[in-house]
Amino acid sequence: MQLSLFESSLNYVFKNKKLLLEALTHKSHRSQETDHERLEYLGDALLTGCVSHWIYKKFPNKDEGTLSQIRALLVCQKSLCLYANIIGLREMIFAAPNIKDSEALLADTFESVCGAIFCDSDFYVLEKWLLDHFQKKWEDISQNQPVKDWKSQLQEFTQKQWKTLPEYKIISQTGPDHALVFEIECYIPQLNLKARGCGDSKRIAAQEAAQLLLKRIQS
């Protein structure tokens, strides 16, 4: 598929075509001058922000914990691959043949495309683009799938793959009593993998650590 046809599929025409090429290029591609990792980093944060905003308005009576669980469903690797396939992204990726069909690569590239659209325009254009394309899918996913938090997702994944469970421990507890900040480490001994999360409650810090570790494992 040519870039112009892909832009038609996106329903977005880039002013700076180099941004689109960068978003579609993995570092494994033999002729790459740049790759999508920086745009992926940016797109990850922007996508999370847009989804969080939509959830906040969509579910006015849900508490913070439930909103976080719904968001986890909408930005997990499986969902990102679904969005990527809707816009025909898979066949546009420039990458080495041995990783071309990777689900993790597909999800990461979708995030990089989000980052590229933002850099080519602004946050409001990106948010409108996401809503125009994926709001119906967000509604379907949030209403039709059971909500599982990051700790539950990580536990199920490690049990299935390695017959083991993550371990959590408090690393630090700082600040005055009315504004405590917890740092919690999530650790998988068999893989020697660790991630740390911070939050104003132990639960939030543990959820962040589990999210970071799950994304590291799946990348």
Q: C-alpha angle 71/55/76, rounded to 5°?
A: 20
149 counts as catalytic: no
Q: Quick one: DSSP state of residue 61?
A: T
Residues in Cβ contact with 36 at an 8 Å cutoff, skipping those fewer than 6 apart: 22, 23, 24, 25, 26, 108, 109, 112
**Lookup result for tokens 């999370």:** 48
- Tell me the H-state helices in the chain: 3-10, 17-24, 37-58, 64-74, 77-86, 103-120, 123-144, 150-162, 202-218
Largest CA distance in the chain: 58
Please state the length of the chain: 219
Catalytic residue among 22, 35, 40, 44: 44
127 counts as catalytic: no
Distance CA 155, CA 153 (A): 5
Q: Quick one: DSSP state of residue 167?
A: E
179 CB neighbour count, 10 Å cutoff: 8
Catalytic residue among 22, 108, 111, 120: 111
The radius of gyration of the chain from alpha carbons, rounded to an integer in Å, stands at: 18
Cβ–Cβ under 8 Å, residues 77 and 103: yes
The set of catalytic residues is 44, 111
